[in-house]
Structure 1
Amino acid sequence: MSAPTAAPAAADLDQLAGLPTAPVRHPWQWVITGVVAILLTSLLVSVALNENMGWDIVGRYVFSDDVLRGVGWTIWLTLLCMALATVLGIVIAVMRTSRNRALSAAASLYLWFFRGTPLLVQLVFWFNLALVFPRLGPAMFFGGTTGGIDTNLAIDWFIAALLGFGLHEAAYMSEIVRGGFLAIDRGQTEAAEALGMTGSQSLRRVLLPQVLRVIVPPSVNQFVNLLKATSLVAFIAGQDLLSSVQHVYAANFQVIPLLIVASLWYLALVSLATFGQRLLEKRLDQGYGHTTRKGAA
């Protein structure tokens, strides 16, 4: 009894499949899109023609020596801090996942402190470390003038920024790296152990290459955040991009044009980092196929 009813149903489906389909119309979408486009175009034209933006001053200072010097310090500081944060973050992530309770507790305490205190507070603290320890060295442990070097001579704005950004970002990088380790199947480690690899060999040759592919997107995101966060060194008399711009507009009082100059440089550097991320992801995707990346996008 079921066979005769199945055949007409299949025929009906074939007839329905052959019928022309009409797209669902959404006329209000075009109206809304047109209104948004008109408003956005009007805003861009208004900004472009606004004399208060000082576009002539922007063109005069965008490649000035002071601004380019600030851009150089910003790039240099970002690269060094990110390198320090990555290395230290890997160490902390390994400690956090260690079976040794002392190492795991120390890593957890590090994360609690450096993620729980504001970055600006950490920068100001390192810059004013001389108020706590006038001398670095044995005097830090035994007090008095038992030896060491003058803290004011050892820690300038750059060293304070390196310590502040590096230690702060290491806490976030450690969690990114730990998340990468957790994303790798336990069978990978067991396979490495079956091949006779030691723990360090398994880490270097099996786990880290796979972890890198997982952590690249969030790591680049942290790099971009760090690049923009370097502007905070303006509070400790730094020489980064924003500090250089501030020095210029403190003299000529052209605040808005100089802030536009800084914004254009930050946008350019972030765009360059994003382009580098795509190249790196493409490189790491070799041998894995592209279904995962496209599916995630």
Structure 2
Amino acid sequence: MDFPKYDGNIHPDEWINDIQKYDSFWKARYGIEYFNTAVSLIDPIIKLPTGIDNYEKLRNALKEDISFIIFKNTNKRKLLSLKYIPERKGGDTSKFISTFRKLCYNGEINDIEEQKKYLYKSLPSNHFDYISNEFYKRMKNINSINELVREFENIVLEESNLIRNGSIVALKHVATGKYLGTFEGLNYETGSKNQLISVQSLEPDPDSWWKIQFSKEIATCTDTPITLQHAKSNVFLGIYYWGGYYYICNKSPSTNHTEVFCIKSNYNVNMWYVKHSKLENHQGYLNSNDIINLSIKKCDNNGNIQDDQ
């Protein structure tokens, strides 16, 4: 049996709790208490006062030794250097939270306000970082470590569903339940005669994956211009119109709406604008499974704008 020694590099409460597990075994086998043996496992550089005859006195004596002050301060410094790495960048949220809670325990940081400050300091400081921004907003009404961790996990889960610049997405047409796709070499026979767009599959496949791009790290649902590039053929989703002081657009042969096609060059008629379909003034970020409206702003030579949706 491996008996744990005490050298000041473990919290006294944790060490004594481990030691007390041996008491019943020790009494059953040898008929004596384990306490005296436990004292002998303490490193001789730690000097105990006289009169230590039970675990509670031993616990208090170990906490009064200078080694425990150093131990607590070391764990506080480790907390200051602790940094959260999102899972999309190779981090492990479970291990991070476990380490954070352990360091708080070892450093005897029990005040919830102090715990909030340490956790907030560990988060990315990027101005656009969703986790740190949301955590700052929500931590005011948190009153326990369990609430703190639960809210942090909720934010991490929300962050994992955000659409980021460069994300690969599938666009599902609400009316038909099919995904928007395109095939290289399959073009319109009329109109622009560019690569054809259609809703085709009930499940996303390689022909229905699109790379979404915008100027920020994450997109809001209020007038964020985006481009959609077909992941397989690298063409861009867009429309074509011409005319100086009036609009002329090709019409789709199947719906008679404005023709949407794919073309290899990326130009301003490929810039789509996102609006949340259910919440007109939705100020939140673009998430997976959001139902959105896509529109293109067309402008004539007089600066008049017409939205195509």
The interval holding the TM-score normalised by the smaller chain is under 0.3
Between Structure 1 and Structure 2, the one with more helix by share is 1
Between Structure 1 and Structure 2, the one with more strand by share is 2
Greater RCO, 1 or 2 (C-alpha within 8 Å, sep 6+): 1
TM-score after normalising by structure 2: 0.20
Larger radius of gyration: 2
